[in-house]
Structure 1
Amino acid sequence: MALIPRRNLLIVEDEPMVAALLGEALTVGGFDVHIAGNALEGIRQAQRCDPDVAVLDINLGHGGSGIELAHVLDRQFPGIAIIFLTKHPDIRTAGYSPSDLPQHAGYIRKDFISDSASVIRAIEDAISQRQPVRAAATPSWLDALTSTQLQVLRLVAQGYTNGEIARRRNTSARAVELLLKSIYATMQIDVSANLNPRVEAVRRFITEAGTPERQ
């Protein structure tokens, strides 16, 4: 009986404990795992191992993001399957849109990496189909928001006023105010209740996506 060759898998993750946990699970799952801590090291490792799949943290700190690295790998290694690691429930809450990702890239929530069976299944699906893979369900209210609404909500969660959001988006404060009302309606926040809708929207965003870095 012929042996199934082990496939090369590249992990680029700047949190050593996360990289080690994931690497151990995927080694047991039948992959030859190569780990890098930043984008530049990731490119060097890829040139050595010719990876079949790359699992990349979106936010890699200094030296390039996981998104930038993904595009480099996608060009240099045709056919590579790419999956992003993220703490975010939706790629848009990380400040990106689906169009920023290489075609067929997927993502796995960091919360779920302890479930090695689900992670391995997602990676196997990505390799065999090269289709977008998601190993976690997105909360319904996040799915319901448009990309524009999510961008504005993310700015609100960063602490910016309506005036500053308007300046950054090259629009009016009134337009931002109307957009926020539509966000509250989509999130089903009762603005007539004894509740500050802006604070409640930010609370829900941070609960699902974490506190966004101020830019």
Structure 2
Amino acid sequence: MPEKWTRRVLFVEDQQIVSVLVGELLVAAGFLVKSVATAADAVDLLEDFDPDVLVTDIELGSRPDGVELAMIARSLAPHLGVVFLTSFTRAATTGFGRTITGAVTVDKLTFSDPSELVAAIEASVRADATPVPGVEGDEELIDRLTPHQRRILSLIAAGLSNREIAERSGASLRAVERSVSRVFDTLGVSHVSAINPRVAAANRYSRLFGRPSEQ
């Protein structure tokens, strides 16, 4: 059975009822969620929780506000996805969002379909890695991987599990899971419904380089 990657979401919202309702929605959607009321609490959790995505209101009732929090969080975790769930108008929010590369905005007052927020979260983590269908081939996509990520991909193509890669490299399992998730996002196979994303990623590698041995 393929290993399942669960995205971690740090959710920041100062209105308790919204915090509870949206937090429950995110858990039901399959995310691992930590909910806090202030930016200060969120900053304290960044290192220990190690989130993949920050979902935050912009107006949090105190400083730092949501945009400032996102800037702090990105300085500590450059690959962090950012979603602003806010009651500001869309025009105003766009102005805020331009300071955060790849940030996605959801209007708190109008969104009613949980899938809209889920889609925003997924879009935020793929903001710098989403391939253009029909334009980029295997070579172009693999060129976008860092040397470390290419090494991870070669081990996936060799048939190693995340745990085996962690043991081989001396990294933590969590660190390997994050690297594998980013490889899948960059290659555009994170949400391939018909086949296992590990198989799809390995096939991309093997078409260019052949099947690797366990290095």
TM-score normalised by the chain length of structure 2 = 0.55
Task: Look up the match of 1:49.
Answer: 49
Task: Look up the match of 1:118.
Answer: 116
RMSD: 2.2
State the distance in 2 between where 1:95 and 1:123 align.
17
Shift of 1:98: 4.5
Question: Unpaired runs of 5+ in structure 1?
Answer: 132-215
User: Is residue 53–residue 82 contact of structure 1 (8 Å, CA) maintained in 2?
Assistant: yes
State the distance in 2 between where 1:95 and 1:4 align.
34
The total of aligned residue pairs comes to: 130
Residues 91 and 44 (structure 1 numbering): CA distance in 2 closer, same or farther, change over 3 Å? farther
- Cα deviation 1:83-118 (Å, max 9, x = unaligned): 1111123242x694544x211111111124542111
Residues 64 and 5 (structure 1 numbering): CA distance in 2 closer, same or farther, change over 3 Å? same
Shift of 1:19: 1.1
In the TM superposition, what are the counterparts of 1:62-141 in structure 2 within 5 Å?
Answer: 62-92=62-92, 96-99=95-98, 101-130=99-128
State the distance in 1 between where 2:22 and 2:82 align.
15
Of the two, which has the highest radius of gyration?
1
- Cα deviation 1:97-148 (Å, max 9, x = unaligned): 544x2111111111245421111112112222348xxxxxxxxxxxxxxxxx
User: Is residue 11–residue 54 contact of structure 1 (8 Å, CA) maintained in 2?
Assistant: yes
State the distance in 1 between where 2:31 and 2:14 align.
20
Question: Unpaired runs of 5+ in structure 2?
Answer: 130-215
Residues 119 and 80 (structure 1 numbering): CA distance in 2 closer, same or farther, change over 3 Å? same
Residues 130 and 108 (structure 1 numbering): CA distance in 2 closer, same or farther, change over 3 Å? farther
State the distance in 2 between where 1:3 and 1:95 align.
37
Stretches (4+) displaced over 6 A: none
Residues 67 and 24 (structure 1 numbering): CA distance in 2 closer, same or farther, change over 3 Å? same
State the distance in 2 between where 1:4 and 1:95 align.
34
TM-score normalised by the chain length of structure 1 = 0.55
Shift of 1:24: 0.7
In the TM superposition, what are the counterparts of 1:1-215 in structure 2 within 5 Å?
Answer: 1-92=1-92, 96-99=95-98, 101-130=99-128
